[in-house]
Structure 1
Amino acid sequence: MIDDRKRGRPTVIVIDDDESVRDALRGLFESVGLFTEVHGSVADFLAVDDPDRPGCIVLDIRLPGQSGLEFQEALAKSHHPRSVVLISAHVDVEMAVRAMKAGAIDVLTKPVREQDLLEAVNLALLSDSERRTEMNQLSVLRLRHSKLTDRERQIMDLVVTGKLNKQIASEVQLAEATVKLHRGHMMRKMRAASIADLVKMAGILDSAP
Protein backbone atom coordinates (compact mmCIF):
# COMPACT_ATOMS: atom_id res chain seq x y z
CA MET A 1 0.00 0.00 0.00
CA ILE A 2 1.36 3.43 -0.98
CA ASP A 3 1.81 5.87 1.89
CA ASP A 4 -0.53 8.85 1.47
CA ARG A 5 2.36 11.20 2.16
CA LYS A 6 4.18 9.87 -0.91
CA ARG A 7 1.20 10.90 -3.02
CA GLY A 8 1.61 14.46 -1.80
CA ARG A 9 -1.71 14.35 0.00
CA PRO A 10 -2.08 17.31 2.41
CA THR A 11 -1.46 16.36 6.05
CA VAL A 12 -2.97 17.96 9.14
CA ILE A 13 -0.20 17.86 11.75
CA VAL A 14 -1.34 18.09 15.38
CA ILE A 15 1.22 19.12 18.01
CA ASP A 16 -0.17 18.93 21.55
CA ASP A 17 1.31 17.52 24.76
CA ASP A 18 -2.08 16.15 25.89
CA GLU A 19 -2.56 12.64 24.50
CA SER A 20 -6.33 12.80 24.89
CA VAL A 21 -6.42 15.99 22.81
CA ARG A 22 -4.21 14.44 20.14
CA ASP A 23 -6.46 11.38 19.92
CA ALA A 24 -9.63 13.49 19.79
CA LEU A 25 -8.29 15.75 17.04
CA ARG A 26 -7.00 12.82 15.02
CA GLY A 27 -10.45 11.26 15.22
CA LEU A 28 -12.14 14.50 14.20
CA PHE A 29 -9.92 15.16 11.19
CA GLU A 30 -9.91 11.57 9.98
CA SER A 31 -13.73 11.46 10.26
CA VAL A 32 -13.89 14.08 7.49
CA GLY A 33 -11.22 12.41 5.36
CA LEU A 34 -8.18 14.45 6.37
CA PHE A 35 -4.87 12.61 6.62
CA THR A 36 -3.56 13.32 10.13
CA GLU A 37 -0.27 13.02 12.02
CA VAL A 38 0.15 13.74 15.74
CA HIS A 39 3.13 14.71 17.93
CA GLY A 40 3.54 15.46 21.62
CA SER A 41 6.13 18.23 21.22
CA VAL A 42 7.82 20.49 18.70
CA ALA A 43 11.01 18.42 19.04
CA ASP A 44 9.16 15.20 18.15
CA PHE A 45 7.68 16.87 15.09
CA LEU A 46 10.97 18.36 13.89
CA ALA A 47 12.66 14.96 14.14
CA VAL A 48 10.50 13.66 11.25
CA ASP A 49 9.36 16.82 9.49
CA ASP A 50 9.49 17.20 5.73
CA PRO A 51 8.93 20.92 4.97
CA ASP A 52 8.06 20.12 1.38
CA ARG A 53 5.04 18.10 2.46
CA PRO A 54 1.78 20.03 1.88
CA GLY A 55 -0.63 20.58 4.73
CA CYS A 56 -1.04 22.62 7.89
CA ILE A 57 -0.24 22.51 11.60
CA VAL A 58 -2.69 22.58 14.50
CA LEU A 59 -0.48 23.76 17.34
CA ASP A 60 -1.03 24.08 21.07
CA ILE A 61 0.28 27.45 22.26
CA ARG A 62 1.53 26.16 25.60
CA LEU A 63 3.97 23.29 25.10
CA PRO A 64 6.91 21.97 27.14
CA GLY A 65 10.25 23.18 25.80
CA GLN A 66 9.72 25.50 22.85
CA SER A 67 6.22 26.92 23.11
CA GLY A 68 3.79 26.71 20.23
CA LEU A 69 3.81 30.48 19.85
CA GLU A 70 7.62 30.65 19.71
CA PHE A 71 7.68 27.82 17.17
CA GLN A 72 5.04 29.49 15.00
CA GLU A 73 7.02 32.74 14.97
CA ALA A 74 10.19 30.83 14.03
CA LEU A 75 8.34 29.10 11.17
CA ALA A 76 7.06 32.44 9.87
CA LYS A 77 10.64 33.74 9.62
CA SER A 78 12.02 30.57 8.02
CA HIS A 79 12.44 29.64 4.36
CA HIS A 80 9.61 27.13 4.86
CA PRO A 81 6.64 28.99 6.35
CA ARG A 82 3.64 26.84 7.25
CA SER A 83 -0.07 27.48 7.68
CA VAL A 84 -0.74 27.28 11.41
CA VAL A 85 -3.90 27.14 13.54
CA LEU A 86 -3.16 27.79 17.21
CA ILE A 87 -5.22 26.34 20.07
CA SER A 88 -4.96 26.83 23.81
CA ALA A 89 -7.00 26.52 27.02
CA HIS A 90 -5.98 30.09 27.85
CA VAL A 91 -5.70 32.75 25.14
CA ASP A 92 -5.23 36.39 26.08
CA VAL A 93 -5.46 39.35 23.71
CA GLU A 94 -1.71 39.97 23.64
CA MET A 95 -1.04 36.33 22.77
CA ALA A 96 -3.68 36.32 20.01
CA VAL A 97 -2.34 39.54 18.47
CA ARG A 98 1.22 38.20 18.55
CA ALA A 99 0.10 34.99 16.83
CA MET A 100 -1.88 36.76 14.12
CA LYS A 101 1.02 39.12 13.41
CA ALA A 102 3.18 36.05 12.80
CA GLY A 103 0.65 34.82 10.26
CA ALA A 104 -1.53 32.39 12.21
CA ILE A 105 -4.68 31.42 10.33
CA ASP A 106 -6.69 31.46 13.56
CA VAL A 107 -6.33 31.28 17.34
CA LEU A 108 -8.95 29.14 19.06
CA THR A 109 -9.72 28.50 22.72
CA LYS A 110 -10.11 24.98 24.12
CA PRO A 111 -12.49 23.30 24.24
CA VAL A 112 -12.67 24.12 20.56
CA ARG A 113 -15.97 23.85 18.67
CA GLU A 114 -15.46 21.17 16.05
CA GLN A 115 -16.98 23.25 13.26
CA ASP A 116 -14.78 26.26 14.08
CA LEU A 117 -11.67 24.08 14.04
CA LEU A 118 -12.59 22.34 10.79
CA GLU A 119 -13.26 25.69 9.12
CA ALA A 120 -9.91 27.04 10.33
CA VAL A 121 -8.07 23.91 9.16
CA ASN A 122 -9.71 24.00 5.73
CA LEU A 123 -8.69 27.66 5.41
CA ALA A 124 -5.14 26.75 6.47
CA LEU A 125 -4.97 23.96 3.88
CA LEU A 126 -6.17 26.36 1.18
CA SER A 127 -3.60 28.97 2.27
CA ASP A 128 -0.83 26.37 2.14
CA SER A 129 -1.90 25.22 -1.33
CA GLU A 130 -1.96 28.79 -2.66
CA ARG A 131 1.47 29.56 -1.18
CA ARG A 132 3.00 26.44 -2.71
CA THR A 133 1.48 27.27 -6.09
CA GLU A 134 3.02 30.76 -5.90
CA MET A 135 6.40 29.32 -4.89
CA ASN A 136 6.33 26.84 -7.78
CA GLN A 137 5.46 29.64 -10.18
CA LEU A 138 8.32 31.74 -8.82
CA SER A 139 10.78 28.86 -9.25
CA VAL A 140 9.73 28.42 -12.88
CA LEU A 141 10.08 32.15 -13.61
CA ARG A 142 13.49 32.30 -11.95
CA LEU A 143 14.67 29.40 -14.10
CA ARG A 144 13.45 31.06 -17.28
CA HIS A 145 14.97 34.39 -16.28
CA SER A 146 18.32 32.73 -15.54
CA LYS A 147 18.50 31.57 -19.14
CA LEU A 148 18.32 35.10 -20.54
CA THR A 149 21.51 36.73 -21.73
CA ASP A 150 22.62 39.96 -20.06
CA ARG A 151 21.38 41.91 -23.08
CA GLU A 152 17.99 40.15 -23.00
CA ARG A 153 17.61 40.95 -19.28
CA GLN A 154 18.46 44.57 -20.00
CA ILE A 155 15.87 44.75 -22.74
CA MET A 156 13.28 42.98 -20.58
CA ASP A 157 13.77 45.61 -17.86
CA LEU A 158 13.15 48.36 -20.40
CA VAL A 159 10.20 46.65 -22.09
CA VAL A 160 8.27 46.27 -18.81
CA THR A 161 8.58 50.03 -18.22
CA GLY A 162 6.60 50.57 -21.42
CA LYS A 163 9.40 51.74 -23.68
CA LEU A 164 9.13 51.16 -27.41
CA ASN A 165 11.77 49.40 -29.51
CA LYS A 166 12.95 52.73 -30.92
CA GLN A 167 13.41 54.17 -27.41
CA ILE A 168 15.19 51.05 -26.21
CA ALA A 169 17.49 51.08 -29.24
CA SER A 170 18.50 54.64 -28.47
CA GLU A 171 19.10 53.89 -24.78
CA VAL A 172 21.20 50.75 -25.28
CA GLN A 173 22.82 52.05 -28.47
CA LEU A 174 21.75 49.23 -30.75
CA ALA A 175 19.97 49.14 -34.09
CA GLU A 176 16.19 48.88 -33.72
CA ALA A 177 16.22 45.63 -35.70
CA THR A 178 18.73 44.17 -33.24
CA VAL A 179 16.51 45.20 -30.32
CA LYS A 180 13.55 43.47 -31.97
CA LEU A 181 15.64 40.32 -32.33
CA HIS A 182 16.73 40.30 -28.67
CA ARG A 183 13.21 41.17 -27.59
CA GLY A 184 11.77 38.24 -29.53
CA HIS A 185 14.27 35.82 -28.01
CA MET A 186 13.53 37.18 -24.53
CA MET A 187 9.75 36.84 -24.93
CA ARG A 188 10.10 33.25 -26.12
CA LYS A 189 12.48 32.28 -23.30
CA MET A 190 10.15 33.83 -20.70
CA ARG A 191 7.15 32.27 -22.50
CA ALA A 192 5.33 35.58 -22.31
CA ALA A 193 2.32 35.75 -24.60
CA SER A 194 2.05 39.54 -24.33
CA ILE A 195 3.66 42.59 -22.75
CA ALA A 196 1.03 42.45 -20.01
CA ASP A 197 2.06 38.86 -19.33
CA LEU A 198 5.72 39.88 -19.18
CA VAL A 199 4.95 42.76 -16.79
CA LYS A 200 3.14 40.34 -14.49
CA MET A 201 6.15 37.98 -14.53
CA ALA A 202 8.54 40.84 -13.78
CA GLY A 203 6.34 41.90 -10.86
CA ILE A 204 6.46 38.40 -9.36
CA LEU A 205 10.24 38.27 -9.72
CA ASP A 206 10.73 41.74 -8.25
CA SER A 207 8.45 41.13 -5.26
CA ALA A 208 10.06 37.83 -4.28
CA PRO A 209 12.30 37.86 -1.20
Structure 2
Amino acid sequence: MSGQPSGHPDEEPIVYIVDDDRSVRESLEDLLASVALRARSFGSVQDFLNTDLAEAPSCLVLDVRMPGQSGMDFLSHMTGLGLHLPTIMVTGHGDIAMGVRAMKDGAIEFLTKPFRDQDLLDAIQRGIEIDKTRRLKDVTEAELQQRWKTLSPGEQDVARLVVQGLLNKQIAAELKVSEITVKVRRSHLMRKMGTRTLADLVRMFDRIHAA
Protein backbone atom coordinates (compact mmCIF):
# COMPACT_ATOMS: atom_id res chain seq x y z
CA MET A 1 0.00 0.00 0.00
CA SER A 2 1.39 3.40 -0.98
CA GLY A 3 0.01 5.22 2.07
CA GLN A 4 -2.91 7.54 2.43
CA PRO A 5 -3.79 9.07 -0.96
CA SER A 6 -4.37 12.80 -1.26
CA GLY A 7 -6.63 12.95 -4.30
CA HIS A 8 -8.88 15.89 -5.04
CA PRO A 9 -12.24 15.82 -3.23
CA ASP A 10 -14.14 16.19 -6.52
CA GLU A 11 -12.92 12.87 -7.94
CA GLU A 12 -15.37 9.96 -8.27
CA PRO A 13 -15.73 8.26 -4.86
CA ILE A 14 -14.84 4.64 -4.21
CA VAL A 15 -15.91 2.20 -1.49
CA TYR A 16 -13.56 -0.50 -0.25
CA ILE A 17 -15.07 -3.73 1.10
CA VAL A 18 -13.06 -6.13 3.27
CA ASP A 19 -14.98 -9.31 4.13
CA ASP A 20 -13.88 -12.94 3.99
CA ASP A 21 -17.34 -14.08 2.77
CA ARG A 22 -17.40 -14.01 -1.05
CA SER A 23 -21.22 -13.92 -1.17
CA VAL A 24 -21.27 -10.88 1.10
CA ARG A 25 -18.68 -9.10 -1.03
CA GLU A 26 -20.61 -9.79 -4.22
CA SER A 27 -23.88 -8.71 -2.64
CA LEU A 28 -22.37 -5.42 -1.48
CA GLU A 29 -20.76 -4.81 -4.87
CA ASP A 30 -24.17 -5.27 -6.54
CA LEU A 31 -25.79 -2.92 -4.02
CA LEU A 32 -23.24 -0.20 -4.62
CA ALA A 33 -23.43 -0.65 -8.40
CA SER A 34 -27.20 -0.09 -8.15
CA VAL A 35 -26.56 3.42 -6.82
CA ALA A 36 -23.63 4.07 -9.20
CA LEU A 37 -20.89 3.83 -6.59
CA ARG A 38 -17.51 2.32 -7.46
CA ALA A 39 -16.42 -0.55 -5.23
CA ARG A 40 -13.35 -2.72 -4.74
CA SER A 41 -13.52 -5.77 -2.50
CA PHE A 42 -10.97 -7.90 -0.68
CA GLY A 43 -11.14 -11.19 1.18
CA SER A 44 -8.72 -10.19 3.94
CA VAL A 45 -7.03 -7.24 5.59
CA GLN A 46 -3.72 -8.32 4.05
CA ASP A 47 -5.19 -8.28 0.54
CA PHE A 48 -6.42 -4.75 1.19
CA LEU A 49 -3.02 -3.68 2.52
CA ASN A 50 -1.35 -5.04 -0.61
CA THR A 51 -3.28 -2.71 -2.91
CA ASP A 52 -2.69 0.91 -3.90
CA LEU A 53 -5.59 3.09 -2.86
CA ALA A 54 -7.28 5.29 -5.44
CA GLU A 55 -6.72 9.02 -5.09
CA ALA A 56 -10.39 9.75 -4.54
CA PRO A 57 -12.84 10.28 -1.67
CA SER A 58 -13.32 6.87 -0.10
CA CYS A 59 -14.70 4.88 2.79
CA LEU A 60 -14.15 1.37 4.08
CA VAL A 61 -16.72 -1.34 4.87
CA LEU A 62 -14.88 -3.70 7.19
CA ASP A 63 -16.00 -7.06 8.59
CA VAL A 64 -15.29 -7.52 12.30
CA ARG A 65 -14.20 -11.18 12.30
CA MET A 66 -11.96 -12.65 9.61
CA PRO A 67 -9.16 -15.22 9.38
CA GLY A 68 -5.76 -13.63 9.96
CA GLN A 69 -5.95 -10.06 11.21
CA SER A 70 -9.46 -9.24 12.41
CA GLY A 71 -11.31 -6.14 11.34
CA MET A 72 -11.35 -4.86 14.92
CA ASP A 73 -7.57 -5.17 15.28
CA PHE A 74 -7.02 -3.50 11.91
CA LEU A 75 -9.33 -0.63 12.84
CA SER A 76 -7.28 0.08 15.96
CA HIS A 77 -4.06 0.22 13.90
CA MET A 78 -5.27 2.22 10.89
CA THR A 79 -4.25 5.64 12.17
CA GLY A 80 -0.76 4.36 12.97
CA LEU A 81 -0.52 3.15 9.38
CA GLY A 82 -1.39 6.61 8.09
CA LEU A 83 -4.86 5.51 6.96
CA HIS A 84 -7.70 7.89 7.69
CA LEU A 85 -10.53 6.23 5.78
CA PRO A 86 -13.97 6.63 7.38
CA THR A 87 -14.80 3.06 8.39
CA ILE A 88 -18.09 1.20 8.74
CA MET A 89 -17.82 -1.99 10.78
CA VAL A 90 -20.17 -4.86 9.92
CA THR A 91 -20.62 -8.14 11.80
CA GLY A 92 -22.89 -11.13 12.21
CA HIS A 93 -21.91 -11.54 15.85
CA GLY A 94 -22.01 -8.06 17.33
CA ASP A 95 -22.83 -6.88 20.80
CA ILE A 96 -23.02 -3.50 22.52
CA ALA A 97 -19.51 -3.71 23.97
CA MET A 98 -18.04 -4.48 20.55
CA GLY A 99 -19.93 -1.59 19.01
CA VAL A 100 -18.70 0.81 21.69
CA ARG A 101 -15.10 -0.33 21.17
CA ALA A 102 -15.40 0.12 17.39
CA MET A 103 -16.72 3.66 17.77
CA LYS A 104 -13.95 4.52 20.25
CA ASP A 105 -11.41 3.24 17.73
CA GLY A 106 -12.81 5.58 15.09
CA ALA A 107 -15.55 3.72 13.23
CA ILE A 108 -18.33 6.00 11.99
CA GLU A 109 -20.95 3.19 12.13
CA PHE A 110 -21.37 -0.33 13.50
CA LEU A 111 -23.95 -2.50 11.71
CA THR A 112 -25.06 -6.01 12.65
CA LYS A 113 -25.92 -8.44 9.83
CA PRO A 114 -28.49 -8.65 8.43
CA PHE A 115 -28.73 -4.87 8.15
CA ARG A 116 -30.98 -2.78 5.93
CA ASP A 117 -29.40 -1.80 2.63
CA GLN A 118 -30.43 1.80 3.19
CA ASP A 119 -28.69 1.91 6.59
CA LEU A 120 -25.44 0.86 4.95
CA LEU A 121 -25.87 3.26 2.02
CA ASP A 122 -26.58 6.14 4.40
CA ALA A 123 -23.43 5.32 6.39
CA ILE A 124 -21.36 5.09 3.21
CA GLN A 125 -22.58 8.45 1.95
CA ARG A 126 -21.74 9.99 5.32
CA GLY A 127 -18.28 8.40 5.20
CA ILE A 128 -17.62 9.74 1.71
CA GLU A 129 -18.65 13.25 2.77
CA ILE A 130 -16.33 13.04 5.79
CA ASP A 131 -13.46 12.00 3.52
CA LYS A 132 -14.26 14.76 1.00
CA THR A 133 -14.10 17.33 3.79
CA ARG A 134 -10.76 15.97 5.04
CA ARG A 135 -9.29 15.96 1.54
CA LEU A 136 -10.48 19.51 0.86
CA LYS A 137 -8.79 20.60 4.10
CA ASP A 138 -5.59 18.81 3.04
CA VAL A 139 -5.65 20.48 -0.39
CA THR A 140 -6.20 23.93 1.17
CA GLU A 141 -3.38 23.44 3.67
CA ALA A 142 -1.04 22.22 0.93
CA GLU A 143 -1.80 25.38 -1.05
CA LEU A 144 -1.08 27.54 2.02
CA GLN A 145 2.25 25.76 2.53
CA GLN A 146 3.16 26.47 -1.09
CA ARG A 147 2.30 30.16 -0.69
CA TRP A 148 4.40 30.37 2.46
CA LYS A 149 7.37 28.89 0.59
CA THR A 150 7.15 31.71 -1.99
CA LEU A 151 7.96 34.27 0.72
CA SER A 152 11.55 35.41 1.06
CA PRO A 153 13.26 34.78 4.43
CA GLY A 154 12.87 38.47 5.23
CA GLU A 155 9.15 38.38 4.42
CA GLN A 156 8.72 35.29 6.59
CA ASP A 157 10.45 37.09 9.46
CA VAL A 158 8.08 40.03 9.11
CA ALA A 159 5.07 37.70 8.94
CA ARG A 160 6.07 35.95 12.19
CA LEU A 161 6.24 39.29 14.00
CA VAL A 162 3.12 40.74 12.36
CA VAL A 163 0.98 37.85 13.62
CA GLN A 164 2.34 38.48 17.13
CA GLY A 165 0.73 41.92 16.96
CA LEU A 166 3.88 44.01 16.64
CA LEU A 167 3.72 47.40 14.92
CA ASN A 168 5.88 48.19 11.90
CA LYS A 169 8.20 50.32 14.05
CA GLN A 170 8.64 47.48 16.56
CA ILE A 171 9.27 44.96 13.78
CA ALA A 172 11.89 47.26 12.25
CA ALA A 173 13.70 47.50 15.60
CA GLU A 174 13.49 43.74 16.14
CA LEU A 175 14.87 42.90 12.68
CA LYS A 176 17.28 45.88 12.59
CA VAL A 177 15.93 47.17 9.29
CA SER A 178 14.17 50.39 8.29
CA GLU A 179 10.46 50.85 8.80
CA ILE A 180 10.09 51.34 5.04
CA THR A 181 11.67 47.91 4.46
CA VAL A 182 9.15 46.39 6.86
CA LYS A 183 6.27 48.08 5.01
CA VAL A 184 7.51 46.79 1.64
CA ARG A 185 7.99 43.24 2.93
CA ARG A 186 4.61 43.34 4.63
CA SER A 187 2.91 44.42 1.40
CA HIS A 188 4.67 41.70 -0.58
CA LEU A 189 3.86 38.93 1.88
CA MET A 190 0.19 39.89 2.10
CA ARG A 191 -0.04 39.81 -1.70
CA LYS A 192 1.76 36.46 -1.98
CA MET A 193 -0.39 34.91 0.76
CA GLY A 194 -3.53 36.19 -0.98
CA THR A 195 -4.89 38.09 1.99
CA ARG A 196 -5.73 41.70 2.80
CA THR A 197 -6.41 41.54 6.52
CA LEU A 198 -4.29 40.80 9.56
CA ALA A 199 -6.98 38.45 10.92
CA ASP A 200 -6.82 36.29 7.77
CA LEU A 201 -3.03 36.24 7.90
CA VAL A 202 -3.11 35.09 11.53
CA ARG A 203 -5.50 32.27 10.63
CA MET A 204 -3.31 31.23 7.70
CA PHE A 205 -0.17 31.34 9.82
CA ASP A 206 -1.75 29.16 12.51
CA ARG A 207 -2.85 26.56 9.94
CA ILE A 208 0.55 26.51 8.23
CA HIS A 209 2.44 25.96 11.47
CA ALA A 210 -0.06 23.50 12.92
CA ALA A 211 0.43 21.10 10.01
Tell me the CA shift for residue 118 of structure 1. 1.1
Identity %: 43
Pairing 1:103-142 to 2, within 5 Å after superposition:
103-142=106-145
Counterparts of 2:83 and 2:50, CA distance in 1? 16
Counterparts of 2:81 and 2:25, CA distance in 1? 26
Partner of 2:84: 81
1:48 is matched by which residue type in structure 2?
Answer: T
1:148 maps to which of 148, 151, 155: 151
Larger mean Cα displacement after TM superposition, 95-104 or 12-21: 95-104
Larger mean Cα displacement after TM superposition, 88-97 or 179-188: 88-97
RCO (CA 8 Å, sep 6+): is it higher in 1 or 2? Answer: 2
Superposed structure 1 runs of 4+ greater than 6 Å apart? none
Partner of 1:101: 104
Counterparts of 2:49 and 2:56, CA distance in 1? 13
Tell me the CA shift for residue 103 of structure 1. 2.1
Tell me the CA shift for residue 196 of structure 1. 2.1
Q: What is the TM-score of this pair, normalised by structure 2?
A: 0.87
Asked if the contact 1:76/1:103 (under 8 Å) is kept, the reply is no
SS at match of 2:78: helix
User: What are structure 1's unaligned runs of at least 5 residues?
Assistant: 1-6
Q: How many residues align?
A: 202
Asked if the contact 1:14/1:36 (under 8 Å) is kept, the reply is yes
Query: Alignment RMSD, CA only?
Result: 1.9
Counterparts of 1:80 and 1:139, CA distance in 2? 18
Counterparts of 2:122 and 2:51, CA distance in 1? 27
SS at match of 1:58: strand
1:196 maps to which of 193, 196, 199: 199
Larger mean Cα displacement after TM superposition, 126-135 or 87-96: 87-96
User: What are structure 2's unaligned runs of at least 5 residues?
Assistant: 1-9
Asked if the contact 1:10/1:54 (under 8 Å) is kept, the reply is yes
Partner of 2:37: 34
Query: Does 2:187 match 1:184?
Result: yes
Q: What is the TM-score of this pair, normalised by structure 1?
A: 0.87
Tell me the CA shift for residue 143 of structure 1. 1.6
Cα deviation per residue 1:190-209 (whole Å; 9 max; x = unaligned)? 2223222212211212322x
Query: Does 2:176 match 1:173?
Result: yes
Tell me the CA shift for residue 136 of structure 1. 1.0
